């Protein structure tokens, strides 16, 4: 029976769209939904260390979103994916311009210590800032790439807002909601675009070694439908494949998240 239970393990899926935090009791239904989703988030993080959050601007009315925030939904992802393919097709001498004073925040490939041969990625620091995204795009396309810049910023902004939504749920669930605002004020975001090439004959088909992240949360989104990611739930000795949908994002608790428990 124990083996059957393990075989049926799946990463929890939680709908985050249309979740609106109310600071008063003016909307009991919204408050009820907020508490329900908050419990689901906490339970998933405690049991699995992660969950798949479904988040779509066509449905979302989260109070973390400002009226001026750019919209993002599944219709935009194809354009972003096209831009990312163009990004990784740039010459190596262009991509290595993506540097940072912080280790592993800029361009990474097989020549970077501890990075496996299949992996290549670029990083955008302070990615919730339009100026930071624009700097990154103009660095790689000196003549400009305004359309991709706009789409990439919209994407980055929405991911940061989803992270804040989940983080507020977690803080309030553990009774430390009063620290949420100061924590967010000190938070910066790194957006990392990653590509894993097809292994050559005789090459190991592993893009990254098993690891945990040092951040509070890591949010992963997959564009190409390959579903190569595996996670090991914190309370189970079994690796699970993650089945992404276009509007799902894997929210993983990092090492820093453990301190609030």
| CA-based nearest residue to 251, from 45, 61, 63, 62 | 45
What's the token pair of residue 45? Answer: 């993080």
Domain residue spans of the chain: 2-260
Q: How far is residue 189 from each of residues 58, 105, 162, 185, measured CA to CA in Å?
A: 24, 11, 12, 12
Give this prediction's pTM. 0.86
* SS3 sequence of the chain: CHHHHHHCCCCCEEECCCCCCCCCCCCHHHHHHHHHHHHHHHHHHHHCCEEEEECCCCCCCCCCCCCCCCCCCHHHHHHHHHHHHHHHCCCHHHHCCCCCCCCCCCCECCCCCCCCCCEEEEEEECCCCHHHHHHHHHHHCCCCCHHHHHHHHHHHHHHHHHHHHHHHHHHHHCCCHHHHHHHHHCCCCEEEEEEECCCCCCCCCCCCCCCCCCCCEEEECCCCCCCCCEECCCCCCCCEECCCCCCEEEEEECHHHHHHC
Per residue in 163-193, pLDDT (tens digit) is: 999 999 999 999 999 999 999 999 999 999 9
pLDDT confidence band for 69 (50 / 70 / 90): low
> 253 φ, ψ to 5°?
-75, 125
Which CATH entry fits the domain spanning 2-260: 2.60.40.10, 3.30.830.10, 2.60.120.330, 3.55.40.20?
Answer: 2.60.120.330
Per residue in 215-246, pLDDT (tens digit) is: 889 999 988 777 788 888 877 788 888 888 88
| CA-based nearest residue to 122, from 168, 156, 158 | 156
Specify the pLDDT at position 41.
Answer: 96
Specify the pLDDT at position 71.
Answer: 61
- Most confident listed range (1-5, 79-83, 205-209, 225-229): 79-83
Place of tokens 């096209």: 82
Specify the pLDDT at position 201.
Answer: 86
Q: How far is residue 233 from each of residues 56, 83, 126, 242, measured CA to CA in Å?
A: 26, 33, 30, 11
Contacts of 135 (CB under 8 A, 6+ apart): none
For the chain, state the CA radius of gyration.
19
């Amino acid at each position: 029976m124990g083996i059957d239970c393990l075989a049926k393990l799946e990463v929890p899926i939680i709908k985050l769209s249309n979740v609106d935090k109310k600071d008063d009791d003016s909307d009991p239904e919204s408050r009820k939904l907020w508490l329900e989703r908050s419990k689901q988030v906490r339970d998933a993080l405690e049991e699995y260390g992660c969950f798949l959050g479904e988040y779509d601007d066509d449905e979302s009315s989260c109070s973390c979103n400002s009226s001026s925030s750019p919209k993002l939904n599944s219709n935009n992802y194809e354009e972003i994916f096209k831009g990312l393919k163009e990004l990784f097709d740039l010459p190596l001498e262009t991509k290595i311009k993506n540097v940072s004073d912080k280790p592993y925040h800029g361009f990474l490939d097989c020549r970077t210590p501890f990075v496996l041969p299949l992996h290549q990625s670029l990083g955008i620091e302070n990615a919730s800032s339009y100026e930071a995204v624009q700097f990154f795009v103009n660095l790689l396309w000196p003549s400009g790439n305004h359309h991709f810049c706009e789409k990439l910023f919209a994407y980055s902004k929405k991911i940061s807002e989803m992270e804040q939504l989940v983080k507020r749920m977690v803080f309030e669930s553990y009774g430390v909601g009063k620290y949420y605002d100061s924590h967010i004020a000190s938070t910066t975001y790194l957006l990392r675009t990653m590509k894993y090439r097809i292994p050559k004959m005789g090459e190991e088909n592993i893009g990254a070694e098993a690891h945990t992240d040092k951040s509070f949360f890591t949010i992963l989104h997959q564009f190409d439908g390959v579903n190569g990611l595996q996670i090991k739930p914190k309370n189970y000795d079994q690796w699970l494949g993650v089945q992404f949908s276009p509007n799902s994002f894997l929210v993983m608790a990092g090492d820093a998240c453990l301190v609030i428990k």
